[in-house]
Amino acid sequence: MKRQIRIFLAGLLVVVPLAVAAYVVWVVGSGLDGLGNQAVRAVWPDAELPPGLGVLVLIVAIYIIGLLTHLWVFQWAFRLLEGLIARVPGVKVIYESVRDLMKLFGGDAEKMGKVVRYHPPGTDIDLLGIMTNENPAGIAESAPDRRVAVYLPYAYMFGGPTIYVSPEHVHEVGLSVEQALKIAATAHVGANAATPLPPADSQQDSTGPKATS
């Protein structure tokens, strides 16, 4: 009986991730398709649109906007629009948060910071984090009061605190931001869930002296 249960669980490990991924793709695709269809019908109200055309329209539109970002006229107009958005309370926070999130997951992850281990003083543990700013605004830049901003992602959920710590307790490790976020998302569970952390003796601290555990 136990063998049959193990076989059933093995099947679940194959079916459930595929089913969830397919469902998410279907839901997102359906939403985007509907949005694209609405945009087309705003121009041609009586247009007969086959399934999937809305997604294609959105992809083409986004690609064209990407091409326009190379034109100085578009860049100037976009900066003007961002300046207007920055003056609207509430909207500014939402816009900038979404923009930075897209940068993080859209190919600019390495520009968002360095993967580090934070060693809390007086403990024998290390916390995996992302040093997002070596000179955060409003924080003293000179020793001994200098602080760096470190984001500590939660496991199995999105979010986490941003803390300001002494650079001597922060050590850069040889991981990409994408790898660090994957480790946090899976809590380092599973053989293929994440890249193993480098050994402690390979740590390099570019912001201060190496701390000892």
**What residues have CB less than 8 Å from 124, skipping those under 6 apart?**
213
How does DSSP classify residue 80?
Answer: H
- Both tokens assigned to 56: 């294609």
pLDDT at 213: 35
Judging by DSSP bridges, how do beta strands 162-165 and 170-172 pair with one another? unpaired
What stretches in the chain show pLDDT beneath 70? 101, 103-112, 140-144, 190-213
- Both tokens assigned to 132: 């997002």
Q: DSSP labels for 87-104? A: TSTTHHHHHHHHHHHHHH
pLDDT at 89: 81
As a whole number of angstroms, the distance between CA 190 and CA 197 comes to 14
Identity of the amino acid at 199: P
pLDDT at 39: 82
pLDDT at 85: 86
> Could you give the angle at the alpha carbon of 160 between the alpha carbons of 155 and 166, nearest 5°?
115
Strand order in the sheet with 114-118: 162-165, 148-151, 127-133, 114-118, 170-172
pLDDT at 15: 92
pLDDT at 212: 37
pLDDT at 199: 56
**What residues have CB less than 8 Å from 194, skipping those under 6 apart?**
179, 182, 183, 186, 188
pLDDT at 100: 72
Contact of 140 with 164, CB cutoff 8 Å: no
- Both tokens assigned to 109: 């992850």
pLDDT at 143: 62
Global model pTM greater than 0.85: no
